[in-house]
Amino acid sequence: MLILAAAVPLWRTIDQPVALKGLVAMVGLLLIAWELWWFLGRHGGGVVARESEAGLQEITITVDGGYAPSRIKVKAGRPLRLSFHRIDPSGCVAQVIFPDFHKTLDLPLEATTSLELPPSEAGVYPFHCGMNMVRGVLEVVEERANNQSAKRAS
Amino acid sequence: MERELARERTLLRRRVSVAAVLTVLVVVSSLPHMLGGGHHSFLPLWFTSPWTQLILTTPVLFWCGRDFFTGAVSAFRQHSADMNTLVAAGTGIAYLTSLFSTLFPQVLIAEGLPADVYFETAAVIFTLVLLGRLLEARARGQTSEAIRRLLQLQPPTARVLRDGQPIEIPVSQVMVGDLVQVRPGEKIPVDGVVSEGSSWVEESMLTGEPTPVAKAAGDAVIGASMNRSGSFTFRVSRVGGDTVLAQIVELVRQAQSSRTQVQRLADQVVGWFVPVVIALAITAFVVWFLISGNAVLAMLFLVSVLVIACPCTLGLATPTSIMVASGKGAENGLIFRSAEALETAGKLRTIVLDKTGTLTRGQPEVTDFERLPGGVLPAGTLLALTAALESRSEHPLAEAITTYARSQLKDSELPAVEGFEAVAGRGVQGSIAGQQVRVGTPRWFEELGIDTAALKPLVERLEAAACSVAAVVVDGRIEACFGVADPLKTSSAAAVAALRRLGLQVVMLSGDARRTAEVVAAQVGIERVIAEVRPADKSSVIRKLQEQGEGPVAMVGDGINDAPALAAADVGIAMGTGTDVAIAASDITLISGNLAGVPAAIELSRTAMANIRQNLVFAFAYNVAGIPIAAGLLFPLTGWLLSPMIAGAAMAFSSVSVVSNALRLRSFHPARLPLPTT
């Protein structure tokens, strides 16, 4: 064990070849770069909700450690139904909160719970779990902009 | 939901117990090694072997703590990183390193390193983190206590009259229009209007009002309030989600799901936090490896950094305080509609009070009835004549006079009126039993050339007391006069004083003539009066105050006439009537309509925001100080190294402290004002 006082015996310097040091530094930097890209980079422009004939936009989100998909693109000015399917037993994700809509939804385990949101203006509306650790984003875009980005994506 | 949380706690408790027992064994097993190596005779050799430790530690990680790993993996697949990621990575690395040195000790020895194992480190961290999570889950359960208590207020059954016979049925089966019997000491099951009987009812659990309210036929009763000594029957007006109780619960839930401005900042930080910590941990490993060439030492720094960082503390800092504070508000009859309302209420500088219905009761009453020296008719006759005439008018003052006159008369039969006429802005006239009777303003009689000299001193006195005056003239002879006033609520003066103590500028807004308004303002201790404002102009008054830099401005008024002004204000505070909770234009609703709720709401807001600031400062300071220490920044100066186990303990208890600090808000009590309310 390494407690404050017992630190000294563990302190031991070992001469390592410069090549190994360089390699470790290199791998470390690459690892950092990759990790930052993986967690913070944008991965796909978000999933576009499908639209029913009545103009209602619908999407199902799987809750398992995170929200899949976690970035949802919808059109402005149309009603939206989000269905959450929770398979993660952790109590942390038992609630999903949409702060901008003042809505909290309880998600029973192994079940699908739906939330209907009124048509909203273009903007980015985050949502998260009860503890604010698992997060997703609802991106509401003007219709034309959405088409363009869809085209760009294809 | 509740059951699920309880089940989770039970499971967590079992896992903590198992982990604790195994961890103690692992620590004992690693003792000889920790104490400087060598074999101690009191422990058998097999017990201190790395293999034993491996066997003991494995279930701690992969049974007790498997949620951390599965959580981390699924979060990873979603390109997100959280608490689980840090804990799983930190302990996973310690475990894998130890596994390597157990399987291939000769590799390390050849490198000049001791073949040490750190199973106990992984086990201790897991046990502490699990324990922290258990304590936190328990504490978090208490933050939503207010809502649970509200929901428990409703009794499960109601005694409904069916075909004249009382039968006990579940509350969910009660329908609008049913007649419900309530006996002494029973709870009122749903909302309704008393049809028979009378009693005193305690509504404090919903409105925050400590004094019981008298209820008789025609009065509204609220579901979940407590009947005291009388019995009565009431007709059900609202059930299910429409009841006052259900609306309160819904509004509190909505407020708890919203977020404050400060939280937006914390949220942004949380999003970046974990990836940045991972980067720092790798940096610490690389730097220490370059300095010392000792991979095991560098690995311990890496683990410490991963384990000490606590994004949960940041994420929990505001929502827990908001949860507790809005619940606390509901307990005191203060309904905050959003976290932002809670946040802004504490920053208010100016508070505008509407006069009618806010400072006053909103129901004019006769305060004076005086017979004049020249009059000849007895009081009873005068009252009967006045009541007969005024009962035909719809003016609010006429209503007050009729009510007063009827209450003074024994005979409910009023004489017949012929040739009734209402003269706009002046009064009413008609002939009763051959007499010409007029009731109206003194100015009207002056215009008619009637001698009003005897009236002058009275009018002056009454107007100085903020009363409107109506005189009674029979056959051209002044007989009597009425003083009608909208009386102040008894709590108003104390509430205004409390607001001034809180450092707010108090402004009164009124449609009355300046002089009357100033008299009322002086009675409650308000110096600044904006009078003669038409209802439609109230919102522009608010905007003007905001433009003059006197904001943030709160407007206190009723929810109907003042709705535009409430919406224009930074914080709109609506005076509820006890039965109307969901007032759309308001940010804060005072269920009871007691003005004392306004200073209480501001106090609660200030206390809650101070609590949130403490939490955020603690959460930032903890992480900002903890991570560099764990990364070994102090080592060159002091020779201190932070054990990963201590890092784990610090992490586990930092989030517990944030939640516990938020729970301190439960002891909030608004300063009680000296006067009871009416």
- Residue B659 clears pLDDT 90, i.e. is over it: no
Cα B297 to Cα A29, B286, B304, B669: the distances in Å are 19, 11, 11, 52
Can you give the pLDDT at residue A153?
44
- Mean per-residue pLDDT, A95-99: 85
> B112 pLDDT exceeds 80?
no
Distances (CA, A) of B619 to A149, B154, B305: 39, 39, 16
- Which SS3 state, helix, strand or coil, does residue A137 take? strand
Q: How far apart, in whole angstroms, are the C-alpha atoms of residue B462 and residue B468?
A: 7
Find tokens 């609506």 and name the residue.
B574
pLDDT of residue B672: 57
Residue B677: band (very low, low, confident or very high) from pLDDT cuts 50, 70, 90? very low
Closest residue of chain B to A101, computed from CA coordinates: B258
Please state the rounded mean pLDDT for residues B308-312: 80
The SS3 call for residue B235 is strand
Q: In the 8-state DSSP scheme, what is residue A29? A: H
β-bridge partners, A104? A97
Give me the sign of the Cα torsion angle B265, B267, B271, B276: positive
Tokens of B490: 């008894």
A31 vs B282, B291, B337: nearest CB: B282
Residues of A in contact with B292 (CB under 8 A): 11-14
Note whether A8 contacts B316, CB cutoff 8 Å: no
Conformation bin of residue B174: beta by default, left when phi > 0, alpha when psi is -120 to 50: beta
Amino acid B583: pLDDT: 67
Max avg pLDDT among A27-36, A82-91, B165-174, B594-603: A27-36
Question: C-alpha distances in angstroms, B562 versus B349, B555, B579?
Answer: 20, 9, 18
Give residue B6's pLDDT: 77
Q: What is the pLDDT of residue B194?
A: 93
- Nearest chain A residue to B123 by CA distance is A1
Query: pLDDT tens, B459-509?
Result: 888 877 778 788 888 888 888 888 888 888 888 888 999 999 999 999 999
Q: Residue B87 carries which side chain, given as an amino acid letter?
A: V
Sequence-ordered alpha helix ranges (H) in B347-491: 379-390, 396-408, 442-447, 456-464
Mean pLDDT of A92-103: 82
* Average pLDDT for B154-174: 89
Q: Write out pLDDT tens, residues B567-600.
A: 889 999 988 766 666 666 788 988 877 888 899 9
pLDDT band (50, 70, 90) for residue B608: very high
Task: Measure in Å the smallest separation between the Cα of A53 and chain B Cα atoms.
Answer: 31
Nearest C-alpha of chain A: how many angstroms from B110?
A: 12
Q: Is the pLDDT of residue B59 over 60?
A: yes
pLDDT band at B133 (very low <50, low <70, confident <90, very high): confident
- Both structure tokens of A11: 């302190």
Give the model's confidence band at B286: pLDDT under 50 very low, under 70 low, under 90 confident, else very high. Answer: very high
d(CA B192, CA B242): 11
Q: How many residues are there in chain B? A: 678
For residue B105, which of B181, B64, B54, B65 has the smallest C-alpha distance?
B54
Question: Nearest CA of chain A to the CA of B329: how many Å?
Answer: 18
Per the omega criterion (within 30 degrees of 0), is the bond before A69 cis? yes
Beta bridge partners of residue A140, listed in sequence order: A74, A123
d(CA B321, CA B608): 6
pLDDT at residue B86 greater than cutoff 80: yes
In the block, which residue shows the tokens 């000792």?
B294
The token pair that represents B488 in the structure block: 């102040």
Q: What tokens appear for B364 in the block?
A: 């004019």
Q: Quote the minimal CA–CA distance from A88 to chain B in Å.
A: 8
CB atoms within 10 A of CB B503: 9
8 Å CB contact of A39 and B257: no
DSSP B185-216: TPBP-SEEEEEEE-EEEE-HHHH---S-EEE-
What does the block give as tokens for B497? 């004083």
The CA–CA distances, whole Å, from A65 to A57, A90, B82, B226, B666 equal 25, 8, 9, 45, 32
Position B7 scores a pLDDT of 78
The verdict on a CB contact (< 8 Å) between A1 and B120 is yes
Please calculate the CA angle B17-B23-B24 and round it to the nearest 5 degrees: 95
Report cis status (omega within 30 of 0) of the bond before B156.
no
Q: By mean pLDDT, which of A134-148, B276-290, B332-346 is the weakest?
A: A134-148
Q: For residue B365, is pLDDT > 80?
A: yes
- Taking 60 as the threshold, does the pLDDT of residue A154 lie above it? no
| Chain B residues whose beta carbon lies within 8 Å of the beta carbon of residue A39 | 79-81, 274-275, 278
Say if residue A67's pLDDT is above 80.
yes
* Tokens representing residue B230 in the block: 């009388």
CA distance B479 to B435: 13
For residues A7-14, average pLDDT: 61
Q: Which residue has the tokens 């929502």?
A: B319
Percent of chain B with pLDDT over 70: 94
Mean pLDDT of B604-631: 90
Give the pLDDT band (50/70/90) at residue A8. Answer: very low
What does the block give as tokens for A87? 């398979």
Helix axes B2-34, B50-59, angle to 10 degrees: 170
- From chain A, pick out residues whose CB is under 8 angstroms from the CB of B307: none
ipTM of the complex: 0.76
Query: Would the CB atoms of B290 and A25 count as touching at under 8 Å?
Result: yes
| Cross-chain Cβ contact A28/B285 below 8 Å | yes
Say which of B71, B78, B279 has its CB closest to residue A32.
Answer: B279
DSSP β-bridge partners for residue A126: A137
Q: Crossing angle for the helix pair B311-331 and B119-143, nearest 10 degrees?
A: 20
The residue from B354, B486, B562, B570 that is catalytic is B354
The Cα–Cα gap between B255 and B311 comes to 24
Is residue B373 very low, low, confident or very high in pLDDT (cuts 50, 70, 90)?
Answer: confident
B74 → closest Cβ in A31, A39, A88 = A88
The 10s digit of each residue's pLDDT in B188-238 is: 999 999 999 889 998 877 777 777 888 988 888 988 888 988 899 999 999
Helix (H, G, I), strand (E, B) or coil at B380: helix
Of residues B511 and B336, more confidence is placed in B336
Kindly tell me if the per-residue pLDDT of A2 is higher than 50: no
> Rounded to whole angstroms, how far apart are CA atoms B232 and B659?
45
CA–CA distance, B149 with B126 (Å, rounded to integer): 34
Burial class (CB in 10 A: 0-12, 13-18, 19+), A68: middle
Is residue B655 predicted with pLDDT exceeding 50?
A: yes
Sign of torsion, CA B242 B248 B253 B258?
A: positive
Query: How far apart, in whole angstroms, are the C-alpha atoms of residue B225 and residue A36?
Result: 56
Cα dihedral across residues A83, A87, A93, A94: positive or negative: positive
Q: Considering CB atoms only, which of A24, A68, A131 is closest to B286?
A: A24
**For B545-571, how does the pLDDT look when each residue is reduced to its tens digit (9 = 90+)?**
999 988 799 999 876 678 888 888 999
In this prediction, residues A64-85 reach a mean pLDDT of: 85
B617: exposed, middle or buried (Cβ count in 10 Å: 0-12, 13-18, 19+): exposed
Q: Where are the extended beta strands (E) located within B328-382?
A: 334-336, 350-354, 365-371
Per-residue pLDDT, A7:
41
With an 8 Å Cβ cutoff, are A24 and B292 in contact? no
Say how far apart CA B472 and CA B442 lie, in whole Å. Answer: 9
Q: Quote the pLDDT of residue A25.
A: 94
Q: pLDDT tens across B179-193, in order?
A: 999 998 888 999 999
- The CA-based angle B581-B585-B586, given to 5 degrees, is 60
3-class secondary-structure state, position A34: helix
Give the CA distances from residue B252 to residues A92, B247, B256, B307, in Å, rounded to whole numbers and listed in that order: 21, 9, 6, 36
Q: Which of A3, A11, A13, A14 to mutate to test the interface with B (most CBs of B within 10 A)?
A: A14
Q: Which of B12, B111, B258 to mutate to test binding with chain A, by most A CBs within 10 Å of its CB?
A: B258
* Chain A residues within an 8 Å CB radius of B294: 11-14
Closest alpha carbon to B267 in A89, A127, A49? A127
Q: Which residues of B touch A24 (CB under 8 A)?
A: 286, 289-290
CA distance B111 to B106: 9
Please check whether residue A97 is in contact with residue A133, taking contact to mean a CB–CB distance below 8 angstroms.
Answer: no
Q: Report the pLDDT averaged over residues B402-416.
A: 81
Would you call A102 and B285 a contact, using CB atoms and an 8 Å cutoff? no
Q: What is the pLDDT of residue A4?
A: 40
**Dihedral in degrees, nearest 10, Cα atoms B268, B271, B275, B278:** 80
Q: Report which of B212, B180, B176 is spatially closest to residue B196, judged by C-alpha positions.
A: B180
Say which residue, A1 or B309, is predicted with more confidence.
B309
CB atoms A131 and B79 under 8 Å: no
Tokens in use for B108? 């390390």
Q: Looking at per-residue confidence, does B352 or B250 come out higher?
A: B352
How much is the pLDDT for B208? 72
- Joined tokens for residue B440: 């109206």
- Provide the angle, in degrees to the nearest 10, between the axes of the packed helices B119-143 and B2-34: 150
Which residues does chain B have within 8 Å of residue A31's beta carbon, measured at their own beta carbons? 282
According to the model, what pLDDT value does residue B35 have?
63
**Tell me, what's the pLDDT at B38?**
54
Active site residue B451: no
pLDDT of residue B39: 53
Would you say residue B530 has pLDDT above 70?
A: yes
